[in-house]
Amino acid sequence: MRVALTRSQEDIQKDRKIFEEQHFEVVELPLIEEKVLDFKVPDMEFDLVVFQSPRAVRLFLSRYKLKGERVLAVGEKTAKEVERFGYSVWAKPENYYGEELVAMLKGLSGRVLIPRSAVGRDEVIDGLRELGFEVVPVEVYSIREKIYKKEELLNRLAKVDAVVFASPSAVRGLLANLQKEEIQRVIKDNKITVCIGKTTQNFFQKELGLTCHIPEKPTMEKVVELLKKMA
C-alpha cells in the first residue's frame, strides 16, 4: 500500500520509518511548512508550563530554561521530548487531547505558560481561564500552507492508496491547493483517508464532507495499525 504523509518535511522524515517498517511505501506530500518565530517570554513567575506538541517543546526549550515550573505534556512523544531536555513531566493526560488536560487541573490555580503555534487552537487556553488560571500564551512557531503546482499535487495523490492527515493545518494545506470539489473527486471513491485524532477528523469532515477514519489513539503507530487492518 502506498501512503501519502502530509505533515511538514521534517515530521515526515521522522514518521517514514514507522510506516516502512510495516512495509508501507511512503509518498511525501508535505502540505504545511514550519517557520520559527522570534519569541520572548514575559518576565514573571509561572506555576505551570503546558506543552501540546514535541515541536513546541523543542523550539521553546532550545532557547528558554525552566525555573522549577511544573510541566504538563499532551502525548507520549511530547513528554519524551521534555525529558530529552533534562526536565521531568509532572503530569500528562491519559488521552491525547487538550480537554483532558484541562479536566486534570480542576481545583487548582496559578499562572500558566503555554508555548504554542501561532495558529494553535484556543480550547486549552479558554478552558484554563474558565477554571481561574492566569494563562500566558507564547507563540514560538507558525505553520503555513505549502503550495504546489496543481499537476504535481494531483500526480502525487494519484500514486497513493491512502492519505494521512495529522492536523487541521494539513487539511487547510490541501484546500489551499485544490478546490473542495476537486478534492472530493480525487479522494472519495478510491482513497483511504486517516485523521490522527478527533480534532482533525471533525475539521476534515466538516470542510470536505468526506469520511476520515481515526485510530484508537492519536499516534502514527496507531495509524499504521489501522491501515494494516484496512489494507
Give the model's confidence band at 202: pLDDT under 50 very low, under 70 low, under 90 confident, else very high: very high
pLDDT digits (tens, 9 = 90+) for 134-186: 999 999 999 999 999 999 999 999 999 999 999 999 999 999 999 999 999 99
pLDDT digits (tens, 9 = 90+) for 91-117: 988 766 677 888 889 999 999 999 999
Q: Within 10 A of 112 (CB to CB), how many other CB atoms are there? A: 25
pTM (2 d.p.): 0.81
Phi, psi of 117 (to 5 degrees): -80, 150
Question: Looking at the chain, which residues constitute the CATH 3.40.50.10090 domain(s)?
Answer: 2-31+146-230, 35-143
Using an 8 Å Cβ cutoff, are 40 and 34 in contact?
Answer: no
Question: Distance between CA atoms of 198 and 149, rounded to whole angstroms?
Answer: 30
- Note the pLDDT of residue 138: 96
Q: What is the mean pLDDT of residues 8-27?
A: 95
The grid coordinates of residue 24 equal 508501507
The grid coordinates of residue 83 equal 525529558
pLDDT digits (tens, 9 = 90+) for 56-99: 999 999 999 999 999 999 888 899 999 999 999 999 887 666 77
- Note the pLDDT of residue 85: 97
Indicate the class that CATH gives domain 35-143: alpha beta
The grid coordinates of residue 156 equal 502525487
Among the four given CATH numbers 3.50.30.30, 3.40.50.10090, 1.10.287.370, 3.30.420.40, the one describing domain 2-31+146-230:
3.40.50.10090
